[in-house]
Amino acid sequence: MAEKFDFTNYFKEYPDENGFFGPYGGAYIEPELKAAMDEITQAYFTICKSSKFIAELREIRKNFQGRPTPITYCENLSRSIGDVQIYVKREDLNHSGAHKLNHCMGEVLLAKYMGKKKVIAETGAGQHGVALATAAAHFGLECDIYMGAVDIKKQAPNVARMKIMGANVIEVTDGLQTLKEAVDAAFAAYTREYKDCIYCIGSVVGPHPFPMMVRDFQSVVGFEAHDQFLEMTGELPDAVVACVGGGSNAAGFFSGFLTDPVKIYGVEPLGRGTNLGDHAASLTYGEEGVMHGFNSVMLKDENGEPAPVYSCASGLDYPSSGPEHAFWKSIDRVQYDVIDDDAAIDAFYALSKNEGIIPAVESSHAVAYAMKLAREQKHGSILVNLSGRGDKDMDYVIDTFGLR
Ligand SMILES: *Cc1c(COP(=O)(O)O)cnc(C)c1O
């Protein structure tokens, strides 16, 4: 239980020096890549303590990203349900419209301090690619984004954004021509070019040090929210809620509340239902296993390979989640639960109509869960991390689910 686990030195002790959160995490990769990851770990531990790096990151957060982002009290939405007060932390107001820029700015600044010329990544729906292209443009580094040919056709606006900001979008035509092939192509490129570049992972996943580094860069969201909420209301929220795909927005947000008497909920996408292939709820329905270089819980097919996954939110359809989430679940600090497509779309419209805030469909899962808690609990306060804005989803929602 949460009471028994001692969080006093949590951020010093987790992950351990090999990148483990309890049994989860690590770096299960070829020796050559391991050497590259060790170089990044070393550099990170040195650079992130330097006052120059810290000052530069602070300045960028304030004057480029627009941090701190505010907290908004959703009075109309709360009243429409009952007596529970729902608040949202506005990562949708972060420059480029989502929380992803928090870790991309950190990763690319690190690359610059390491003397690298280029950053590399894969992208599926294009959100990570756009955030990384934004950061690379700001710091004047080259940026290679690997993307499946099928995804390039589907995500024309994001491809245009990346190209306008000067990124090279490299079309991957192997296999099914989607995210999995893009990951393979990007890793192959990194293995060839690691001396000149770093691979920027898009969530708290992948080999050590990425789950730790991405959490650290995202933790600004949780620490800001903790102090802002106290200042606004004189107390802490009773519960905090965030959606979990790979788990970066949730990990950063939860970091601010781990040691407090606050209930923490991570929300996974149930998509169309509980059958394998219809959802992406890896913490809820998955089992322990290694994929993409780390040990965590994952959804497996009958051959033990990563299973196909689905969610209306393309940012949430990943067959695993970060190792730290698997750990928080194992020690009972965070409760993980699910929201299906339909409830997420209801919440998308509820927040839009009641508050004039159009949330990303990913974030709508967290809003839906807060609404569910509010119906059940009758009193108290809930703070939701609104990970991104929904402009990118408007056409898709209307075409697929209709105007509600
Ligand atoms: C990518 C994305 C997510 C999911 O990523 P996490 O690493 O789980 O945070 C959630 N919300 C938005 C708006 C996204 O773009």
Ligand 1 centroid – CA 130 distance (Å) = 13
d(CA 126, CA 324): 25
User: Using an 8 Å Cβ cutoff, are 231 and 237 in contact?
Assistant: no
Pair 101, 95: CB distance under 8 Å? yes
Which residue lies with its CA nearest to atom 2 of ligand 1? 315
pTM of the model: 0.97
Active site residues: 74, 99
Q: How confident is the model at residue 1 (pLDDT cuts 50, 70, 90)?
A: very low
User: Where in 155-238 does DSSP place strands (E)?
Assistant: 168-172, 197-199
Share of the chain above pLDDT 70, in %: 99
Cβ of 314 less than 6 Å from ligand 1: no
Q: Work out which ligand 1 atom sits closest to the CA atom of 202.
A: 7
Coil, strand or helix: which one is 204? Answer: coil
Find out whether the beta carbon of 247 lies less than 6 Å from any atom of ligand 1. yes
Q: What is the pLDDT of residue 384?
A: 99
Task: Give the tens place of pLDDT for each residue, 263-319.
Answer: 999 999 999 999 999 999 999 999 999 999 999 999 999 999 999 999 999 999 999
Residue nearest to atom 10 of ligand 1 (CA): 362
Tokens of 164: 């306008």
Mean of the pLDDT values across residues 320-328?
A: 98
Amino acid letter, residue 306 = P
Q: How far is the CA of 31 from the centre of ligand 1 (A)?
A: 30
**Residue 270: its pLDDT value, please?**
98
User: Within 13 Å of residue 150, how many CA atoms lie on the same side as its CB?
Assistant: 10
Q: Is the shortest distance between the CB of 360 and ligand 1 below 6 Å?
A: yes
Q: Is the CB of 392 under 6 A from ligand 1?
A: no
Distant-in-sequence, close-in-space partners of 370: CB < 8 Å, separation ≥ 6: 86, 239, 241, 382, 384
The encoded tokens of residue 138 equal: 């700001």
Is the C-beta atom of 316 inside 6 A of ligand 1? yes
What is the residue whose two structure tokens read 């808690």?
373
Residue whose pair of structure tokens reads 């990346």 in the numeric block: 162
Alpha-carbon torsion, ordered 11, 15, 17, 18, to 10 deg: -170
Ligand 1 pocket, residue 311 CB under 6 Å: no
Dihedral pair phi/psi, residue 151, rounded to 5°: -65, -35
Q: Is the CB of 209 under 6 A from ligand 1?
A: no
* Cβ–Cβ under 8 Å, residues 306 and 291: yes
Kindly tell me the burial class for residue 178, based on how many C-beta atoms sit within 10 Å of its own C-beta (0-12, 13-18, 19 or more): middle
Ligand 1 atom nearest 251 alpha carbon: 9
pLDDT of residue 2 exceeding 60, the answer is no
Q: What is the best residue among 92, 100, 107, 311 to mutate for testing ligand 1's pocket, by most ligand atoms within 8 Å of CB?
A: 100
pLDDT of 78 strictly over 90: yes
Per-residue pLDDT, averaged over 363-379, amounts to: 97
Chain-wide mean pLDDT for the chain?
96
Please report the pLDDT score of residue 3 as a whole number.
56
DSSP-assigned letter for residue 359: B
Tens-digit pLDDT profile for residues 201-255: 999 999 999 999 999 999 999 999 999 999 999 999 999 999 999 999 999 999 9
Q: State pLDDT tens for residues 108-147.
A: 999 999 999 999 999 999 999 999 999 999 999 999 999 9
For 58, 107, 113, 198, the CA distances from 191, given in Å and listed in that order, are: 32, 18, 21, 10
* Strand extents, DSSP E, 139-262: 142-148, 168-172, 197-199, 239-243
pLDDT digits (tens, 9 = 90+) for 373-399: 999 998 999 999 999 999 999 999 999
Long-range contact pairs involving 297-303 (C-beta distance under 8 Å, separation at least 24): 297/24, 297/321, 297/326, 297/329, 301/276
* Residue indicated by tokens 């010093």: 12
CA-to-CA separations, 312 to 272, 284, 335, 361, 365, in angstroms, rounded: 9, 18, 22, 7, 10
